Amino acid sequence: MTSATSTQTDPHDVFMAAYLAGSPAPLPAVRSGAKLRVPNDALALGGLVLTPAGPLRGWLTIEAGRITRISSRKPTGVRVLVTDGVILPGLVDLHGHPEFNVFAAWEPPRTFVNRYSWRASDAYGALIREPQNKLLTSLPAGTELRYAEIRALVSGTTAIQGASGRTGGAGESLVRNVDGTIFGEHHARTLIDLPADLTSRGGETLTSILDGIQAGDVDAFYVHLAEGQRSNQRSIDEFDRLVAMHALTPATVMIHGSALTRAQLGDAADAGAKLVWSPQSNLRLYGETTRASDAIDVGLPMGLGADWLPSGSTSLLAELKVARRELANQGRPIKAADLVRMVTSGAAQIAGLGDKLGSLEIDRPADVLVLDRCDPDPYESVCSSNPSDVELVFIGGDLAYGRADWVRELAPGATAEQLEPVLAWGRPMLLDTSFQGQPDADGAPRLAQLRAALTSTYPPVGPIWA
């Protein structure tokens, strides 16, 4: 195994060794659970690698689930694949409701003043809430989550937020859940609705979360906040209520914040809090979205989330495009490299996982995405990509999804029981869903089994390859 401190003459290797000299160590185990690893051998991917130092035309080596070398020289003694694509960290989606991503997109009948108004509507009840209740009571726990994780996976997302503890369980997931069990630990918490105060419904849960933050046991606290139109007083007042309950902390990650004023965004930045922006869902439900330009101006760390499929984007790659257009509309054009950071290294930092995810560095878990080249500039290429441009996805070194010809080349010994053939936007791909977070589980379902179970209960399930 080549380490960061091995003797190298490659300039990029020298940079990476210096970059890592002060990084904390050791990292926890990459993936825990029963999994048929694909592939077993070390391999190297050739292409345009997006490193912390910038793009490098070279090679990224993966061995035993970790990145072991990044170099401009072709390595020897390992299986190699020339991709000629953009090689970047797996995408981190910081806001979603995966269990609802089994539904097709919802067409809101009108704009709403806040999140409480659409949740009380008859249309929402009939089209989303009632079918969801039926699925929850009819299918084994985790069926919807697994389907949604596959939807995320084939779009290049390797870590998500928002999976329900009811379906996610205590084990690791096929796609990493940043507010669930991850790297064998659980350091994040999520609150859907902010309570009226600490003595009302939800107050006890919030108190427990705040105690965990104080004790250092919780380093990311996701809370839906100020989600509504800017003129809606109920949404505006939520920020002051958060402050009054001493819940605006460096661990606080505000989801949406579409009604927040510039001053409130500045106060959040001063407190060390963070923001997750889901412009597509906001625009479809409320006709307006967060003052993201103000958030950038005041220095508030901001990541992106595709939200849920009923009103959000079909993928995080699609959300990138909406965010870019909206920032331009707000008079704050953003560079492609900065936009990519919002779904990679910046998102990982917001999640409290910046030492493990979001960046291609030596001895990091190999959560790696390879995209087809869509533009000469690699960052512009990422921003122009869509799920049909996803060519390979690794999670912890496990080759979970990829082009059929490349997967067979990288893992010639893989069996048909491991790899499920799928046709993705006209391209033959292979999918491996065999990862299980619980070593004693009976077996992980394949996509065909999940689809059959879902459609037998609710025929109009939203398609993955849409």
Cα–Cα distance measured from residue 87 to residue 97, given in angstroms and rounded to the nearest whole number: 28
Residue 323 has pLDDT above 80, yes or no: yes
Predicted local distance difference test score (pLDDT) of residue 43: 94
Q: Do residues 69 and 28 both lie within one domain?
A: yes
399-411 pLDDT per residue, tens: 999 999 999 999 8
- Through-space distance between the first and last CA atoms of the chain, rounded to whole angstroms: 41
Residue 81's pLDDT band (boundaries 50, 70, 90)?
Answer: very high
Q: Is 344 helix (H, G, I), strand (E, B) or coil?
A: coil
Could you check whether the bond before residue 109 is cis, i.e. omega within 30 degrees of 0?
no
| Domain limit, last residue, from 328, 350, 372 | 350
Residue 111 has pLDDT above 90, yes or no: yes
C-alpha of 226 from chain center: 22
Cα–Cα distance measured from residue 214 to residue 50, given in angstroms and rounded to the nearest whole number: 36
Q: Across all residues in the chain, what is the average pLDDT?
A: 89
Q: What is the SS3 string spanning 172-229?
A: CCCCEECCCCECCECCEEEECCCCCCCCCCCHHHHHHHHHHHHHCCCCEEEEEECCEC
Predicted local distance difference test score (pLDDT) of residue 384: 98
Q: Do residues 222 and 289 both lie within one domain?
A: yes
Sign of CA dihedral 190, 194, 196, 198: positive
Residue 88 has pLDDT above 70, yes or no: yes
Predicted local distance difference test score (pLDDT) of residue 136: 87
Which of 93, 100, 44 has its CA nearest to residue 68? 44
Orientation angle between helical segments 233-244 and 262-270, nearest 10 degrees: 20
- Tokens found for residue 392: 């390979």
C-alpha of 460 from chain center: 25
With respect to residue 465, please indicate whether it lies within any of the assigned structural domains.
no
Per-residue burial over 117-128, b if 16 or more Cβ lie within 10 Å, else e, is: bbeebeebeebb
More confident residue, 184 or 294: 294
Cα–Cα distance measured from residue 197 to residue 207, given in angstroms and rounded to the nearest whole number: 10
With respect to residue 240, please indicate whether it lies within any of the assigned structural domains.
yes
Cα–Cα distance measured from residue 12 to residue 55, given in angstroms and rounded to the nearest whole number: 11
Q: What is the SS3 string spanning 256-319?
A: ECCCCCHHHHHHHHHCCCEEEECHHHHHHHHCCCCCHHHHHHCCCCEEECCCCCCCCCCCHHHH
Residue 13 forms beta bridges with which residues? none
- C-beta separation of 287 from 314 below 8 A: no
Q: Do residues 197 and 252 both lie within one domain?
A: yes
Work out the average pLDDT over 440-446. 72
Say which range, 123-137, 159-173, 268-282, 423-437, has the weakest mean pLDDT.
159-173
**CATH number of the domain within which 272 lies:** 3.20.20.140
In the chain, the percentage of residues whose pLDDT exceeds 90 is 78
With respect to residue 444, please indicate whether it lies within any of the assigned structural domains.
no
Cα–Cα distance measured from residue 205 to residue 198, given in angstroms and rounded to the nearest whole number: 9
Please enumerate in sequence order all residues whose Cβ is within 8 A of that of 266, keeping only pairs 6 or more positions apart, or say none.
298, 300
Predicted local distance difference test score (pLDDT) of residue 402: 96
Domain extent for 56: 11-89+359-435
Work out the average pLDDT over 335-364. 97
Q: Which helix (H) or strand (E) holds 368?
A: strand 368-371
Please enumerate in sequence order all residues whose Cβ is within 8 A of that of 158, keeping only pairs 6 or more positions apart, or say none.
89, 90, 91, 92, 175, 176, 357, 367, 369, 393, 394, 395
With respect to residue 4, please indicate whether it lies within any of the assigned structural domains.
no
Q: Do residues 127 and 185 both lie within one domain?
A: yes
Q: Do residues 298 and 283 both lie within one domain?
A: yes
**Against a cut of 0.85, is the pTM above it?**
yes
Residue 12's pLDDT band (boundaries 50, 70, 90)?
Answer: very low
With respect to residue 410, please indicate whether it lies within any of the assigned structural domains.
yes
With respect to residue 60, please indicate whether it lies within any of the assigned structural domains.
yes
| Domain limit, last residue, from 298, 322, 350 | 350
With respect to residue 462, please indicate whether it lies within any of the assigned structural domains.
no
Residue 61's pLDDT band (boundaries 50, 70, 90)?
Answer: very high
- C-beta separation of 183 from 165 below 8 A: no
Predicted local distance difference test score (pLDDT) of residue 169: 53
C-alpha of 358 from chain center: 10
Cβ neighbour number for residue 215 with a 10 Å cutoff: 8
C-alpha of 390 from chain center: 15
- In the chain, the amino acid numbered 194 is L
Residue 29's pLDDT band (boundaries 50, 70, 90)?
Answer: very low
Q: Do residues 209 and 263 both lie within one domain?
A: yes
337-351 pLDDT per residue, tens: 999 999 999 999 999
The single residue listed with the structure tokens 């919780």 is 218
With respect to residue 274, please indicate whether it lies within any of the assigned structural domains.
yes
Residue 106's pLDDT band (boundaries 50, 70, 90)?
Answer: confident
Cα–Cα distance measured from residue 16 to residue 71, given in angstroms and rounded to the nearest whole number: 9
**CATH number of the domain within which 19 lies:** 2.30.40.10
- In the chain, the amino acid numbered 138 is S
Q: Do residues 127 and 214 both lie within one domain?
A: yes
- Total domains present in the chain: 2
271-298 pLDDT per residue, tens: 999 999 999 999 999 999 999 999 999 9
Residue 117 has pLDDT above 80, yes or no: yes
Work out the average pLDDT over 313-341. 97
Residue 148's pLDDT band (boundaries 50, 70, 90)?
Answer: very high
Say which range, 104-108, 214-218, 386-390, 416-420, has the weakest mean pLDDT.
416-420
Sign of CA dihedral 151, 156, 161, 165: positive
Q: Do residues 387 and 401 both lie within one domain?
A: yes
Cα–Cα distance measured from residue 360 to residue 363, given in angstroms and rounded to the nearest whole number: 9
Q: Do residues 380 and 418 both lie within one domain?
A: yes
Q: Do residues 326 and 384 both lie within one domain?
A: no
Residue 89 has pLDDT above 70, yes or no: yes
Q: Do residues 249 and 314 both lie within one domain?
A: yes
Q: Do residues 46 and 114 both lie within one domain?
A: no
| Domain limit, last residue, from 323, 350, 377 | 350
- Tokens found for residue 348: 């990982």
231-269 pLDDT per residue, tens: 999 999 999 999 999 999 999 999 999 999 999 999 999
- C-beta separation of 454 from 95 below 8 A: no
Predicted local distance difference test score (pLDDT) of residue 434: 84
- C-beta separation of 357 from 159 below 8 A: yes
- Tokens found for residue 352: 């409290």
Q: Is 135 helix (H, G, I), strand (E, B) or coil?
A: helix
Cβ neighbour number for residue 389 with a 10 Å cutoff: 21
- C-beta separation of 167 from 145 below 8 A: yes
Predicted local distance difference test score (pLDDT) of residue 37: 56
